Structure formats: C-alpha cells, structure tokens
Structure 1
C-alpha cells in the first residue's frame, strides 16, 4: 500500500520501501543510474517523511545521492543506523541515460516494449536483471531486524510489485516520496 497505511492481513511489517524525493531533472528525461541533484523541496520533504514514516529499526539505501541523502536525513532524525545496499540502485539505462524519452529512437523503444524483461536496446541492464537483484535485496532485508526502511527508486518498487502481483505492476506509478509497506512472513 502507498502512503502511510498499515499492512493488510495483520502480518508484521518486514520492509518499507520509500521512493526518493523529486530530483532536479526535467520532466520526460530517462535518468536511471544518473546521479542527480536534489529538487528544491528536498529539506521540507525529508523532514515530513522523517515524521510521517512508521517506526523502523534501521535505514538501508541505494547508493545514488537522491536516495542516500534522504536516507541520511531520516536516519539522523531518528538516530538509526544507516547502510548502503547497491542492489537497491535504479536500473542502468545505458546510452538512454540523460536522454529525453521522446528523443530515443522509436525502434529501440519498440524493441524494449516487445520484450520488456530481456531486451537491452539501450546497452544497459535488463529489467529481469534489475528484478532479480531487487528480489534478492528484499529477501535479505525481510530476514533481518524489522521493520527496515529501504530508500530506493521506482524501478525497484515496480520490480517488487511485479514479482508479487504480476506483470501489470510494471505500469503502476509510484509517486516521489511515497512508500510501500511490504508485509512480513
């Protein structure tokens, strides 16, 4: 569930996945692994999230600064340990990084759409590769002290949902600064 709800079914919360705040990048630009500056509302959003998120035992983050700086702000505000997990990084879009989506050759977009999980027309990482590492990270986080907050990216959130809910989750939006509660075992 998005936002600040509680998990369904009464199960314990193992992981809370939090998408980073809005970065300083133009709308419509592909920026997976590109390390971007923070948007102008970062300080206010970080303070709001530090207050609004459910209690957690630790904070784990993607190494990209748009996640790491948010994770650091939350960990500091709550006096929690923080660690980096490179498996939480966004997908590598290869030569598409920093390019407007509408400037990417249509044939490349069509090839990717025809085989979303395995195509690599951009030369970067496949969706399947990202999903595999996201699943491994989530499994490890769920086995540790819980609940844990994982500050990450939309691609990771979509990968987790696609594994749990099916392929339609690849098209689900995950707003900036929203979180997803993942029930424990």
Structure 2
C-alpha cells in the first residue's frame, strides 16, 4: 500500500518495529491489551541479543508505547537512548475490554467471541475498543511520526534516518500492513522481543515500503 509522504524529493528511512518482551499473560496465552503489567523477571536475559544488536544503532527518533511492558523493554535494549524516547499512548495494543486476561478456552463457547474471531473489524469485545478507533489512532501516529518530513529526519546526504518504535504485536501487524503492499494484518508474525525492519522510499506524495533483515 502506498501512503502519503508529504512533498519533496526522493527520501528514504528505516523503521524498526520492536515488540515488547514476554509477560506472564503472554506465557499463559491471555488476551493482553491495555492491562498494564510488566515483563517477566528473566526479561533482561530474553532481550540481551536485541540489546547487543541495538547498541550499534543510533536512532534519529525513538517512540514507545506508554504501557509498562514497553517502557521496560526500552530500558533493557536501549538504556543509553531511552531518555530521548517519546512515550505515546496511541501505540497501545487494542483494548480487549471484558476479555482482557481471558484465554481462548475461556471464551471459545461465547458466540460474540466467535463472531469477533471471524470479523474483528466488524465486531467489538464488550466494553472494548472498536477496530475503527484502534486503526484511527495508529494511523494518526504513523502520519505524524513515520511518514511526515520532520526536521529531525531531513538529511541532504545519502544517510538514511532510522526510527525505532517499541510497541505491541497487534500494532506492529497493523503498521506493517499499512506500509508494505499486499501485506495483510495476519500475514505478519512477531514474537515478544522480536524486531522487524522496514525501509520506506518516498517521492512526491507516496511511500513504498519493503521489509529488510534486522539488524
């Protein structure tokens, strides 16, 4: 999918999308959206390879979900750059409402849950966040922080600016589906502590994205 880029000559940037480390609810396969729990005690060990890879990367912009598990991930993998990170609630996972903390086995006989599994864009969990609201806030973040020509991302040389985003699995799937042509929401698999790198090349008023190997 092509997305608006603003105006100017050909420019490129690399976007590094990082899913937070593992929480107890991830291990227990519980739905985890806005519930604000931290990482498991062994997170430092889990994220050590990502920290090593990140030590060789200097970010021109760094964004992080304001939920604790993402902030802890940021501290583990980029301690020297954490101070420059902008915490943004638009990067939160979707809110599962009354289904927060529940598992598939607990929900599988619920007709509304079955309908949501089949059509999450059309069905909303009880007291949860509609898909349209989820998509709108992430679109807002992307247009403001990833595709806009911010001064920090301007470069007259061949240097390619790097933008890192520490967020959640559903958010990463959505961003990838917006940035890479013919990539569906469920086509992207991202495990806790994994990084996905995308290069955007923009000219005129559109971007074209392609996935790169990280790092």
TM over 0.5, shorter chain: yes
Report the Cα distance in structure 1 between the residues aligned to 2:18 and 2:131, rounded to whole angstroms.
20
Q: 1:162 to 1:78 in 2, by over 3 A?
A: closer
> C-alpha displacement at 1:55, in angstroms?
3.2
Equivalenced residues, count: 175
Higher helix share: 1
- The answer on whether the counterparts of 2:96 and 2:125 sit within 8 Å (CA) in structure 1 is no
Deviating 4+ runs (over 4 angstroms): none
Task: List aligned pairs for 1:81-120, cutoff 5 A.
Answer: 81-104=84-107, 105-120=109-124
2:140 maps to 136
Report the Cα distance in structure 2 between the residues aligned to 1:161 and 1:169, rounded to whole angstroms.
8
Higher strand share: 2
1:7 maps to none
Please tell me whether residue 183 in structure 1 is matched to residue 184 in structure 2: no
List runs of 5+ in structure 1 lacking aligned partners.
1-10
> C-alpha displacement at 1:65, in angstroms?
0.6
Please tell me whether residue 161 in structure 1 is matched to residue 176 in structure 2: yes
| TM-score of the pair, normalised by structure 1 | 0.82
- The answer on whether the counterparts of 1:15 and 1:141 sit within 8 Å (CA) in structure 2 is no
Q: Give per-residue Cα distances to partners, 1:108-133, cap 9 Å, x unaligned.
A: 22221343213113321122321222
- The answer on whether the counterparts of 1:20 and 1:70 sit within 8 Å (CA) in structure 2 is yes
CA-based RMSD: 2.3
Higher CA-based Rg: 2
SS at match of 2:141: helix
- The answer on whether the counterparts of 1:60 and 1:151 sit within 8 Å (CA) in structure 2 is yes
Q: Give per-residue Cα distances to partners, 1:25-73, cap 9 Å, x unaligned.
A: 2422111111122113211234432221343123211011110111133
1:50 maps to 51
- The answer on whether the counterparts of 1:58 and 1:80 sit within 8 Å (CA) in structure 2 is no
